[in-house]
Structure 1
Amino acid sequence: MNTKNKICLTHFDYDRLKLLISNHTKRNKVETNVKDLLGEIERAQKVDSRIIPPNYVTMNSVIEVKNLEELEFQEFRLVFPEDANTQENKISVLAPIGTAILGYKIGDVIQWKFPGGQNQFQITNIKYQPEANGDYHL
């Protein structure tokens, strides 16, 4: 986990993610990825949806990341678990990479522990951020 960079979340995303975590922990044993997500959202600066800068990753953003070890680019939409679909490049916020990028901004280099070991990648672009497009309900 990388806790050096400042991260920023909307109040709307924070509230929905807290509910997700609460519901998840009531139904299941608390898993590492849920604990990681809780840690990240609790340390985040919370801001109004109308003022979050467009270069920050929010829920339902379409993000491009570069794996710095393999120099590969990947594009996906960050979604809630019920909307996840790898064939449509929709990655859950509970997936390691989903938790890792939430609240970071373009240019940030993130180190995160994945099942296969430590990984380092950079957010290279946000092709769509709901708030920047006036889509405050997503």
Structure 2
Amino acid sequence: MSSVPITKHGAGLLKEELQRLKTKERPAVINAIAEARAHGDLSENADYDAAKERQGFIEGRIADLEGKLGAALIIDPTTLDADGRVVFAATVDLEDLESGEKVTYQIVGTDEADIKHAKVSVTSPIARAIIGKAAGDVVEVQAPSGGREYEILEVRYV
């Protein structure tokens, strides 16, 4: 399996979720199954069916998180020395040349992308367009809504 880049912060969030699932959610669902079994006939026991379904979801998510963390290449943006170039985990200030609107994005792994928090996936059109560029460069981004030009104002590794 090839390594998948993820920021140090993103890896921390996945580890927290894994810990919560293993220490809180898993024991709670095991107790719910035991309690439902105590009610007798399992063939028509909705509580039992719901708890078993929840258990399947939890175990699947645990396996998924363990797989992602096992394949993760954790990158701490504060340790990057990319000579001012846009790389994975960099935070980039951009200006839309048509509207003059300024935006800031951090390039992150696919699992931690969240546009509401200005985190864009490394596989997104905007990230693919700016990777390898530096402050002052103008890039054209081919997005589903059409082409847009951005100027890279600043590249930070925070």
Query: Which TM bucket (shorter chain)?
Result: 0.5 to 0.7
Q: Deviations over 1:95-136 (max 9, x none)?
A: 11111111110100011221111111110011x226xxxxxx
- Percent sequence identity over matched residues? 24
Q: Deviations over 1:22-43 (max 9, x none)?
A: xxxxxxxxxxxxxxxxxxxxxx
Partner of 1:89: 118
Q: Deviations over 1:45-94 (max 9, x none)?
A: xxxx97631x1111111110000011000011111111101122111011
1:118 equivalent among 129, 134, 147 = 147
Task: Go from structure 1 to structure 2 and tell me whether the alpha carbon gap of 1:66 and 1:50 turns closer, same or farther (over 3 Å shift).
Answer: closer
* Paired residues, number: 83
Is the contact made by 1:57 and 1:129 (CA closer than 8 Å) also made in structure 2?
Answer: no
Task: Go from structure 1 to structure 2 and tell me whether the alpha carbon gap of 1:85 and 1:118 turns closer, same or farther (over 3 Å shift).
Answer: same
2:104 equivalent among 75, 85, 99 = 75
Which has the larger helix fraction? 2
Task: Go from structure 1 to structure 2 and tell me whether the alpha carbon gap of 1:119 and 1:16 turns closer, same or farther (over 3 Å shift).
Answer: same
Higher mean displacement: 106-115 or 63-72: 106-115
Unaligned runs of at least 5 residues, structure 2: 6-78
C-alpha RMSD of matched pairs (Å): 2.0
Partner of 2:157: 129
Partner of 1:52: 82
Q: Write the distance in 2 (CA, Å) between the matches of 1:112 and 1:85.
A: 19
Higher mean displacement: 73-82 or 112-121: 112-121
Is the contact made by 2:80 and 2:157 (CA closer than 8 Å) also made in structure 1?
Answer: no
Structure 1: 4+ residue segments shifted above 2 A: 49-52
Bigger-Rg structure (1/2):
2
